[in-house]
Structure 1
Amino acid sequence: MSAVTAAPPRPAAPARFSPGRIKRIARLGWRRGQLELLQFFRGTETVVFSLLFPVFALIIFSSMFGGEIAPGVSYSDYLVPGVIATGLMVTGFQTLAISIAIERDRGGLKRIAATPMPRSAYFIGKVIMVLVTSVVETAVLVAVSVLFYGTHLPRDGGAWWTFTWVSVLGVTACALCGIALSSLPRNSRSAPAVVAPFAFVLQFISGAALVFTDLPPWLQNVASIFPLKWMCQGLRSVFLPDSFAAHEAAHSWQLGWVAAALAGWVVAGLVLCLLTFRWTKSRTGG
């Protein structure tokens, strides 16, 4: 009886998280991020809406309302943290939700999914775009606030640390929710109409444009479900004097609750992305 020849061993599949693969994904993600930034800043309408809309809101609302809302705190002082939080929400939530919906409707996501580029590199590119535009937008808002409204910048490292983690957690939560919501519009034409109302309503019930404690209690409870309310509250602790904490709904800054709420939305947004994101249009899409 002849001996059975053993089959040659198959080459080992590359490790999914090998250093080489991670390095390649990071490199492709960085290049994708550069492309996303180039496309963003070439779109005049997108730049004006995303970067300058919060500045226009600051100017308009400061012109409409004046006076002090608490000892040593003017309405414009109160408005600045809310406008910064709104800018982060617009960049992370609204811009991403609309742009991804348009890319999907035009077949861009389908073509990306069919290329050898790792799909994770696409999302790294989006993250880079959101982070860079958020930094630029926040810097513009802070500069306008300091130069024209006399806003005082934080003077200690603890306040800047609070500013950093509130901004990072907030924009991350908003970006993940924006990616998840991008699957809701049936086509690119309906994307702005589907996404914009969410952002518009949240601005007015979260203490971004109106004094939060002036809202009816039931509306305050509704706003407390969503991240923008906690972003505004966390940033107020940075830009407003400690004495103003007594004028908050809970009579304190509640920074522990701010961190827990925003971290919870990061987790919820990630879960929603995994459950809802798709690379192609649904067959029922118009």
Structure 2
Amino acid sequence: MSTVVTKPAPALPGAWAVGLSRGAVEIKQFARQRDAVIFTFAFPIVFLALFASIFGGSVEGTGVTASQLYAAGMVAAGIMSTSFQSLGISIAVERDEKVLRRLRGTPMPPAAYFLGKVWLVLLTGLAETAVLLFVGASLFDLDLPASAVKWLTFAWIFTLGLTGCALLGIAISSLPKSGKSASSVVVLPFLILQFISGVFIPVHQIPDWLLNIGALFPLKWMCQGLRGVFLPESAAVLEQTGSWEYGRIALVLGAWVLGGLVLCLLTFTWKNRRDG
């Protein structure tokens, strides 16, 4: 009498492998939306060109031009745009269209979904930053760092800023009641932050009480840190405290990474609130 030998079922791929595949899907979906691609990359460049042209000239006593200030700020705004704004809107829409609910019902590890978003945000963030640096350096006299220390500073500001803003975007995606209202809910606070964080208006022209409000959020510190990377030391006199404050920048951005993670764990849901 023969015995039937059953082969063990193949192990399911882990979260990391599925996350890579999910990231490839996210990137392909983004690339196919040509209007979204054009808007994402053109938006900060257009604003940089407008503000740098309208408010041109040098800033007295600093050795820098207004266009250099705007270029550094726009790089920070571009990082937040591809992370906070992008995820806040897209996840809210996917939740409203029940995409999240269907994904949650599959064997896919939940972490893989977020890993896919991380790959998308990282790629688009790097691409937009590269484009803005190229435009800033070639058209608006932005000086690229000449030392490895400056590039290392840029790297940790980019990493902490992108991570913190991405987590904040995931958290705020639970706030809109529907996908249709997501743009209004996400874009309005981002727009306000750009005005009070040194993106559209130089920090030395912003009242201290508004700067103090902006200091509660990561954009102000990304702008300040990137100005320290791309501008000469003489420009530090324009800052609220007269220095770049790299230690405080690292502390605030690191706190937003941890705080954003806690917010995500407390607020994220796979289904819309009206679905029960």
Shift of 1:45: 2.4
Structure 1: distance between partners of 2:118 and 2:12: 16
Match of 2:212 in 1: 221
Structure 2: distance between partners of 1:168 and 1:61: 27
Unaligned runs of 5+ in 2: 1-9
Which of the residues 53, 58, 61 maps onto 2:48? 58
The alignment partner of 2:220 has SS state of helix
Structure 1: distance between partners of 2:18 and 2:275: 33
Runs of 4+ residues deviating >3 angstroms: 20-23
Structure 2: distance between partners of 1:32 and 1:21: 18
Shift of 1:246: 2.2
Match of 2:238 in 1: 247
Aligned ranges 1:129-208 → 2 under 5 Å: 129-208=120-199
Normalised TM-score (structure 1) = 0.90
Unaligned runs of 5+ in 1: 1-19
Structure 2: distance between partners of 1:283 and 1:189: 14
Contact preservation (8 Å) 2:203, 2:238: no
Deviations 1:163-209 (A, max 9, x none): 00001100111000000000001111111011110110000000011
Q: Mark the structure with the bigger radius of gyration.
A: 1
User: Does the C-alpha gap of structure 1 residues 226 and 21 become closer, same or farther in structure 2, counting only changes over 3 Å?
Assistant: farther
Shift of 1:68: 1.1
The alignment partner of 2:59 has SS state of strand
Shift of 1:283: 2.0
Aligned ranges 1:86-125 → 2 under 5 Å: 86-125=77-116
Structure 1: distance between partners of 2:185 and 2:275: 17
Match of 2:16 in 1: 26
Between Structure 1 and Structure 2, how many residues are aligned? 266
User: Does the C-alpha gap of structure 1 residues 195 and 80 become closer, same or farther in structure 2, counting only changes over 3 Å?
Assistant: same
Shift of 1:150: 2.3
Greater shift, 110-119 or 210-219, is seen at: 210-219
Contact preservation (8 Å) 2:85, 2:169: yes
Which of the residues 245, 255, 260 maps onto 1:269? 260
Match of 1:11 in 2: none
Cα RMSD of the aligned pairs, angstroms, is 1.6
Match of 1:259 in 2: 250
Which of the residues 39, 57, 64 maps onto 1:67? 57
Which of the residues 222, 226, 239 maps onto 1:231? 222
